[in-house]
Chain A
Amino acid sequence: MSSTTHSSNIQASYIQLRNISQSFALNDTKVTLFEQLNLTIRQGQSYAIMGPSGAGKSSLLMLMSGLELPSSGQGVYVKDGVKGKQESSLEALRPDIGFIFQQFHLLPELTALNNVALPLKLRGDKEAISKAKVMLTKVGLQDRIHHNPNELSGGEQQRVAIARALVFEPRFIFADEPTGNLDEKSAGDIANILLNCCKDSNAALIMVTHSQVLANKAEHVFNLTHDGLTQLKGYNTKIGHLEAAC
């Protein structure tokens, strides 16, 4: 495992959902996804959300990331920085989040290196390329940096996507079925890389998954159904030893 590059003064940032409900109208009928949920996501820890299709896992992910608003309830972002703790709405979370998708969503015309450098370039980082190289090395793709996405396997593409999501050092990573498109072996490798890299970057990892294997690797596991959110695995549960890059 590689060493962390983060200072300890940002460890305590967290997202808190208070009595959150989400519903929408479909053909004049109100469809309720979930009601009165309470959840706290802490930076540096890993979370897996499981549950049947249509239970609202992706919607919960969107709410947590502040990209969608709940029908009722409140979401807050408590940021612990050099000025101490500051509470704000989830909209303020935007600069501190990154996403990983089931379909990878790399830009096909860019090489692996340029895909990873993209978020840094957007932030005007003059060392974007060198940082992207370091990140790609961390996910074990140092030999494939100049390859285009269509020249990479699914597992390799997802590794590029992980590198891209982590390279700008977000505090929270949201992953939607990150291993859903991969075979068992690749899925295992990706899961380890993902969890290790997030740990190493001191980022919270929030995954939506159907994979029990992946979920078991998270520190906290929740099951989301129409009846509510049930915690299957909590703070006292030790996670298994992870061996992979990062």
Chain B
Amino acid sequence: MLITSRALIESRTLLERTKLAWQFYRQEYHLPQQRLLRWTQTILLIFMLALTQSSFSVQQYLTQNLQGLLGADAKISQRQPFTNQQVNDLSEQVKELVATQQIKINFSHQDSWQYISLKAVADSYPLQGELLTATSLAGNTEQSLTGPKQGEIWFDSRLFASFNLKTGDIVHIAKQEFVFTKLIKHEPDRLMAGHNVAMRAMINIADMAKLNFSENLINYRYLLALDSTQLSSLQDWQQQHLPAAQLVHKQGNHPLALFWQRTENFIGLASIILFFMAAIAIEQIALKHQNKEQYFSAVCMSLGASKSTGIVVSILKWCFSLLLLLPIALLAAAACHWLIIHYLTDNFPNLQWQWHYGLSLKTLAFISLIFALFYLPVWYSLLNSSVGKLFTSAKNTGSNFGQKLVSVAVLVIVVLAYSDNALLTMMLVGAMLVTIVLILLLSWLVLTLGEKFTQNLSGLLPFVFFMMKQRLVSKSTQILGVGLSAFLLLFTLMLMHDLGKTMSSYQRQHDGNLMVSKATNDQLSYLKNWASEHNIIIRQNKSYMQAKLIEINEQSLAEHTDKPSDSLATFSREIRMHWNNQLPSNNRLLSGTWWQADSDNWQQVSVEQEVLTDMGLSLGDELTFIISGQRYSFIITASHEFKPGNGSITFWIQIPTAAIAHIQANHYSMASLEVSEQQQPLLAELWQKFPTLRMVSLQQMTERFDNLLAMITKVISGFSMLIILLAGIVILASINAVEANEQKKNSIIMSFGFNRMTCLKLNIIEWLITAMIAAAGAIVGTYLAGLLIYKSQFSLNYQPDFVWLFVTLFIILASVTSLGIIASRKSLNSSIRQLMTE
């Protein structure tokens, strides 16, 4: 009975508190700081909801497509032919298998050429799914039960269109004749082969042998039908007998999924920057809330209420504020989600808009938690409120450094957990921390020295320095908010500007306009003669062999790390291993020592720094590679990084030249050439001679690059808009946080016999000093972030355009100062009468 009545009283109390919270929420709705808080929260809610919904839709799309469109339960592939024994072993372990082979060649017909992916399939192809073909672009699509017969070739629609072919046409590959018979509309194992945009052609596997391509240029692949019980034994067998082979299965991560995951991580990093901005904005707003809420709590206590009343009412008010934002945020997020899906349908056909309710609830819970974390200091301060504070009327103008530190630490942990690219995240967080320290140091230095050196001057400047120095803590917070916003905004804009400009101009300057990515020794010597014959310059030429990393310190890659990263994704395939005796001129030694030319120890390796960090490697670790079917182990003795200015051909893994004597493997070369417009037709002859010579012309390179750039630009533009919006909010919040103090200060100044014009002048000078300190911090932060991130994350040579940088910064700061002055006009609208009526 007692419990029931207590529960009744408590529920009544809660109802009363809810009513009270609702009443105060309504009253405070139009206050500037509430408006700013709503804006900040709405922007983040929309961004996060739209992002998670869209990425989930894509992931779901990929999963569904993998289920139905893989054309096999698993695929095993490697760069060497499988031995008969291996094929027999394999067939014993699976229900069914089909052999396919794939090679990339330059296909030329009449005077045109195209870099294509040529696939050869066995008669039993396809294994699973539908192989769809047609006889003309507009013709009916029909299902083919087998692949091309011997002597036949099929093309995909793009290749067909680009060569203006018709069925029955004769084409030549490596002097062999083929009849074009069908158009490929759909290959069931296309996704299993990886995300590849090259144009495609298909022939019979028996014809591949006749083409006499070098074995090591061909990707040998078996499509496998098996059940899940056979998978693990197959994996064991592969680890044991074919460690360099790649096994992809339905249950695993698909390359396209990984590609999307990386894109997602980039956007994730963008959202982290937004979180930081929001944290700054909310921190500024919370300072003002803190005093207000503490006052309210103390009043409640003076009227006999418990301490919890103030806290509960504050939490309920916060909940009302968040709940009422949800309808707008959800609607806007749904619209953004629709736009994103619409935009992605180019890359993901048939991707459909769908709202995932469970996911949206999860996202909302996560963001609410983050918002609550940002707001926690306000509630914490209520624990310390007391009736006594009403008497002393002491306001908490400063803020608890410890609380801020904890908030920052939690935020950094969230950021690290969120991103898969620890190096990039740490670089950004590092640049931000340096900017923070620099701005704080600059604020202290400029204000202290400014005050000291202007002491003997007359005018308003010494007074402004004096006042700013006296209010060092609150001023530093304001300058920090503005400075960090300016830094993040400037960095985003600079990245967008430079991605296009620096990269394309740099590559043209140093790399020529034709890149040979894989040439055999015969091909290279022919290429050299051909180049000198036609007066073509070979800009760079570097040798390599292909190697597959299989073990780190005698552990397989999967055992070593399960954290997805760019490096790990690349190591799942063969990589290029370069040898030399001296550190290449476009590399810089970062740790360890480079080997001597006469050293007997050939089992040394230098690893690129980012790869080292990504994979969690250190000097002294042992790397085991499979090179041409043999195992070779190397000890990491150095790490290097790319140094711009001497060509862009660089390698992740480099070994001493002495090792070549111990390794039996084919050698290839990468080279870059400068071919004039008039010399372009000469390339057809070269490809006719060597269809497997891998070349990418500038036109192709820039086309791929331009497509990538267009997508990145769209992403960054959208992101910049949000950053600009949040930067505006941060500035308004920082002004709003000190508005009451500013208003009082202006009134007091007027009571000394000065007019509003003097206050306005003081305001302008103060904002100029604020903007200048923030600008210095922002420019150094941006420079540092550029220096760290450009090279390692975007392979860009960082050549900052200082004129552009300063002009952009000037525009940002002029806007900041103007916005600051306009937003401060309310504090100028003060009067001595207000001081009398207080």
Contacts and interface: CB of A to CB of B under 8 A. Distances in A.
A150 B748 contact: no
Nearest to A59: B833
Contacts of B456: 126
Interface in A114-150: 114, 118-119, 121-122, 124, 126, 150
Contact of B838 (A62, A105, A124): A105
A170 interface: yes
* Interface size band for A: 20 to 34
A98 interface: yes
Nearest to A171: B753
A54 interface: no
Contact of A109 (B470, B749, B753, B754): B470
Nearest to A119: B752
Interface stretch (B390-398, B419-427, B623-631): B390-398
A108 B838 contact: no
Interface string B139-152: 00000000000000
B744 interface: yes
A103 B835 contact: yes
Contacts of B754: 94, 122
Interface string A29-40: 000000000000
Nearest to A114: B470
Nearest to A122: B463
B377 interface: no
Contact of A101 (B392, B474, B749, B835): B835
Given A67-B832, A124-B458, A103 B838 contact: yes
B462 A109 contact: no
A96 interface: yes
A124 B755 contact: no
Contacts of B474: 109
Nearest to B836: A176
B835 A121 contact: no
A124 B462 contact: yes
A229 interface: no
Nearest to A102: B836
Given A67-B833, A109-B470, A94 B753 contact: yes
A110 interface: yes
B462 A98 contact: no
Contact of B753 (A61, A62, A95, A176): A95
Nearest to A110: B470
A26 B834 CA distance: 19
Nearest to B838: A103
A24 B751 CA distance: 24
B388 interface: no
Given A62-B832, A67-B832, A107-B745, A98 B470 contact: no
Interface string A87-108: 0000000111111011101011
Interface string A180-213: 0000000000000000000000000000000000
Contact of A97 (B394, B458, B749, B753): B753
A14 interface: no
Nearest to B472: A109
A194 to B, nearest CB: 16
A109 B475 CA distance: 12
Nearest to A99: B751
Contacts of A114: 466, 470
Contact of B460 (A58, A107, A122, A126): A122
B835 A99 contact: yes
A168 interface: yes
A121 B462 contact: yes
A149 B518 CA distance: 77
A175 B394 CA distance: 24
B753 A98 contact: yes
B831 interface: yes
A145 to B, nearest CB: 14
Contacts of B833: 58, 62, 67-68
A58, A109, A176 — most chain B CB neighbours (10 Å): A109
A41 B23 CA distance: 50
Nearest to B451: A121
B704 interface: no
B19 interface: no
B455 interface: yes
Contacts of B745: 107
A128 to B, nearest CB: 9
Nearest to A103: B838
Contacts of A121: 462-463, 466
A58 B752 contact: no
Contacts of A68: 833
A109 B755 CA distance: 23
B471 interface: yes
B459, B753, B835 — most chain A CB neighbours (10 Å): B753
B831 A67 contact: yes
A62 B747 CA distance: 13
Nearest to A61: B836
A10 B460 CA distance: 27
A105 B473 CA distance: 20
23 contacts: A58-B836, A67-B831, A94-B753, A96-B753, A97-B753, A98-B753, A99-B835, A105-B744, A105-B751, A107-B748, A108-B395, A109-B473, A109-B474, A110-B470, A114-B466, A119-B752, A121-B462, A124-B457, A124-B459, A124-B460, A124-B463, A165-B751, A168-B752
Given A105-B835, A124-B459, 4 more contacts: A94-B754, A114-B466, A119-B752, A122-B749
